[in-house]
């Protein structure tokens, strides 16, 4: 396997000339390290035409149509990317991602499983809250978090043992409850029909580049912490 030498500035400008997503680079390294906890058929995929890497069990993923499936992810997101948002700033983002559509649970079973287990499983919510607190993760409708907050209306975090939410735009965090976040996730109270739910960490481009190959360590720690949530999402419903 080829060595991953770390990110470069060019990795935050799109995919032309980049190699980090490959199975002989960061993608393969992360998949190999996660295989023992995610499952024996864990693999990585570089998303077509996007600076985006997915890691999932091949038995619960479709490269040609990945929307309905939960996945661990890594993005290099920049204002110079074709889909860059001027509000975002250049960042490395990594965590867990699942898409869903209102009133269409049959076609999005991993989203359905996640919401159902939030209702019924103390273990899932405890794993989610623990990962959020330990790694300062954010829960948000990622692609719409600066546009009315998307399907959730707000983004959420756990900070020094307290749950907080922030409206769209520049974060202004205020105290809330775990139950409020769960209610939002279950009900999707706004008028949005689609959600790109992410539980993720962020690192600015300069810090990610400076770390060189050592950037793998914080990324892997976050992904490992979210494996119990991922496994609950993909598990078949019990009778």
If you average pLDDT over residues 88-95, what whole number do you get? 86
Instruction: Name the maximum alpha-carbon separation found in the chain.
Output: 50
CATH number of the 9-234 domain: 3.30.930
Give the span between the Cα atoms of 63 and 54, in whole angstroms. 9
For the chain, the average pLDDT equals 89
Q: How far apart are CA 23 and CA 44, in angstroms?
A: 6
- The strand order across the sheet containing 174-175 reads 42-46, 52-57, 71-77, 91-101, 194-204, 138-141, 155-159, 162-166, 174-175
Tell me the three state secondary structure of residue 104: coil
Taking phi over 0 as left and psi of -120 to 50 as alpha, with beta for the rest, 153 belongs to: left
Residue 49 has pLDDT above 60, yes or no: yes
**Which carries the bigger pLDDT value, residue 183 or residue 145?**
183
Residue 44 structure tokens: 């990585």
pLDDT tens digit string along 188-231?
876 778 999 999 999 999 999 999 999 999 999 999 999 999 99
Query: Could you give the angle at the alpha carbon of 206 between the alpha carbons of 204 and 211, nearest 5°?
Result: 100
Percentage of the chain exceeding pLDDT 70: 93
Which band of pLDDT confidence, cut at 50, 70 and 90, is reported for residue 117?
very high
pLDDT average, residue stretch 76-84: 61
Give the number of other Cβ atoms within 10 Å of residue 94's Cβ. 30
Tens of pLDDT, residues 153-170: 899 999 888 999 998 877
Beta bridge pairs of residue 163? 158
Indicate if the pLDDT at residue 95 is higher than 50. yes
pLDDT of residue 115: 92
- The label of the residue with tokens 């739910």 reads 197
Which of the residue ranges 83-92, 102-111, 150-159, 178-187 would you say has the lowest mean pLDDT? 83-92
Residue with tokens 């300069």: 206
Task: Quote the pLDDT of residue 209.
Answer: 97
User: Mapping DSSP to helix (H, G, I), strand (E, B) and coil, where does residue 79 land?
Assistant: coil
Cα–Cα distances in Å, from 121 out to 115, 189, 229, 233?
10, 22, 11, 12
Confidence bin at 76 (pLDDT 50/70/90):
very high
Beta-bridge partner residues of 44: 55
pLDDT for res 223: 98
pTM: 0.92
**CB of 117 within 8 A of CB of 186?**
no
Q: Which residue has the tokens 């720690």?
A: 221
pLDDT band at 144 (very low <50, low <70, confident <90, very high): confident
């Amino acid at each position: 396997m080829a060595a991953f030498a770390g990110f470069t500035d060019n990795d935050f400008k799109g995919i032309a000339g980049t190699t980090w997503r490959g199975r002989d680079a960061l993608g393969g390294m992360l998949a190999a390290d996660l295989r023992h906890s995610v499952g024996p058929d864990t693999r990585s995929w570089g998303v077509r035409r996007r600076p985006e890497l997915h890691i999932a069990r091949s038995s619960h993923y479709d490269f040609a149509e990945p929307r309905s499936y939960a996945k661990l992810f890594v993005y290099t997101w920049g204002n110079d990317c074709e889909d860059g948002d001027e509000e975002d700033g250049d960042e490395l983002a990594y965590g867990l991602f699942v898409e869903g559509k209102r009133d269409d649970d049959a076609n999005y079973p991993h989203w359905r499983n996640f919401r159902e287990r939030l209702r019924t499983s103390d273990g899932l919510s405890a794993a989610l809250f623990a990962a959020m607190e330990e790694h300062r993760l954010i829960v948000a409708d990622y692609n719409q978090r600066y546009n009315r907050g998307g399907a959730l209306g707000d983004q959420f975090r756990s900070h020094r043992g307290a749950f907080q939410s922030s409206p769209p735009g520049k974060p202004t965090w205020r105290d809330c409850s775990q139950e409020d976040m769960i209610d939002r996730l279950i009900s999707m109270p706004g008028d949005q029909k689609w959600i790109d739910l992410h539980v993720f960490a962020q690192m600015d481009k300069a810090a990610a580049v400076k770390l060189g190959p050592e950037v793998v360590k914080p990324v892997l720690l976050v992904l490992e912490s979210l494996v119990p949530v991922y496994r609950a999402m993909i598990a078949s419903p019990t009778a």
